[in-house]
């Protein structure tokens, strides 16, 4: 899988250059990936120590730890000492072969995201002038009016809740999807290379389908297509910055400006929701990690629409795609017994 994702990255890189664009510089997110890896190491260590059949109190504790991790994601500096301590108490469980497999899947995911961002730039240009966000906006208005949300217009509709602490929690959970991906990949790589390859295939096949859908029904979500739908004063500052960067990235990519874009602004289907559902299923053989990420994924799914990142139909489409994607990866239909994993 590393070879295939490397080839995809090289091909996408060359395509962007050949069409006069600036390819994604994946080195710009090394810090983000570094934090993801640190958190993955922590989870792997504690999965090894607490794995097996968790008691109900332990499941509750792991769920509470998941909520705590959402808050701690705001302070990356805290994860380095936690990872060092976790490795120190679990060092005998990491042999050279295991570390090598983990390193390979991390590099493969790094290159895979580079290929996705480059492809994103290419499809954004092809979709210029034929956006379909208006259709999804109309469906949103119909649904929200039926639910009694908003004042019948799309102006300042988002966020759909008012509590500042909840909005911050929802925003933090939305961006934990990459962390969860690296956690699942590292857990799988610790078991065997084949399982990690299946997960990589499933994840980047999902992105490929999303990019294909964008070519047919190009839509970028409320926060990009309809900035007036956001009540900026109610949103957390970091959510405002994220949404502004997404809008700037789409304008840059669609207008052909030669500037690197490291963003994924495909709305239909919601890849955040699709991956959250798939990765939660993939965590079933790992009881501690599964309990840890359950609240994260629930919050993430709600955050997609509550904050205005996605239309309602984007989330519906993600749920409908789950069984289709699982059929593409036969191994996920038969979870590995916990004892075999640990």
* Interval 133-177: pLDDT, tens: 899 999 999 998 888 887 778 888 899 888 888 898 898 888 888
pTM score > 0.85 for this model?
yes
pLDDT digits (tens, 9 = 90+) for 217-258: 999 899 888 999 998 888 888 888 888 888 888 887 777 666
Domains identified in the chain, total number? 1
pLDDT at 52: 65
Using CA of residue 79, residue 82, residue 88, residue 92, what is the dihedral sign?
negative
pLDDT digits (tens, 9 = 90+) for 9-65: 888 878 877 877 777 765 566 767 777 777 777 787 777 777 667 777 777 877 887
Structure tokens at 126: 């092809």
Residue appearing with tokens 């359950």? 294
Residue appearing with tokens 């979500």? 221
pLDDT digits (tens, 9 = 90+) for 183-217: 888 888 877 778 888 888 889 999 999 999 998 99
Q: How far is residue 37 CA from its own chain's centroid?
A: 14
pLDDT at 277: 93
Mapped to the 3 state alphabet, what secondary structure does 180-220 carry?
HHHHHHHHHHHHCHHHHHHHHHHHHHHHHHHHHHHHHCCCC
Cα-based distances in Å from 58 to 53, 61, 291: 10, 5, 9
Give the domain extent around 268. Answer: 2-341
């Amino acid at each position: 899988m590393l070879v295939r994702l490397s080839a995809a990255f090289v091909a996408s890189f060359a395509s962007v250059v050949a069409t006069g664009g600036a390819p994604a510089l994946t080195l710009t997110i090394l810090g983000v990936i570094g934090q993801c890896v640190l958190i993955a190491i922590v989870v792997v260590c504690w999965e090894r120590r607490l794995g097996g059949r968790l008691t109900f109190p332990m499941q509750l504790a792991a769920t509470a730890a998941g909520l705590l991790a959402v808050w701690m994601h705001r302070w990356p500096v805290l994860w380095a000492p936690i990872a060092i301590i976790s490795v120190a108490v679990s060092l005998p469980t990491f042999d050279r072969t295991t570390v090598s497999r983990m390193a390979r899947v991390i590099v493969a995911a790094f290159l895979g995201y580079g290929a996705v961002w480059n492809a994103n730039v290419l499809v954004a240009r092809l979709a210029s002038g034929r956006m379909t966000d208006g259709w999804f906006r109309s469906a949103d208005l119909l649904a929200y009016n039926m639910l009694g949300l908003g004042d019948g217009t799309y102006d300042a509709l988002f966020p759909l809740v008012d509590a500042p602490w909840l909005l911050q929690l929802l925003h933090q959970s939305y961006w934990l999807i990459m962390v969860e991906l690296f956690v699942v990949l590292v857990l799988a790589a610790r078991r065997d290379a084949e399982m990690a390859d299946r997960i990589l295939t499933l994840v980047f096949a999902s992105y490929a389908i999303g990019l294909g859908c964008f070519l047919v029904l190009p839509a970028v979500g409320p926060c990009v297509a309809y900035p007036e739908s956001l009540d900026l004063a109610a949103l957390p500052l970091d959510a405002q910055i994220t949404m502004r960067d997404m809008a700037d990235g789409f304008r840059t990519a669609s207008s052909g400006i030669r500037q690197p874009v490291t963003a994924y602004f495909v709305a239909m289907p919601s890849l955040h929701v699709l991956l959250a559902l798939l990765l939660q299923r993939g965590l079933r053989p790992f009881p501690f990690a599964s309990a840890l990420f359950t609240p994260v994924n629930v919050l993430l799914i709600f955050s997609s629409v509550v904050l205005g990142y996605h239309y309602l139909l984007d989330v519906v489409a993600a749920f409908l795609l789950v069984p289709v994607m699982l059929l593409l990866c036969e191994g996920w239909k038969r979870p590995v017994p916990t004892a075999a994993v640990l």
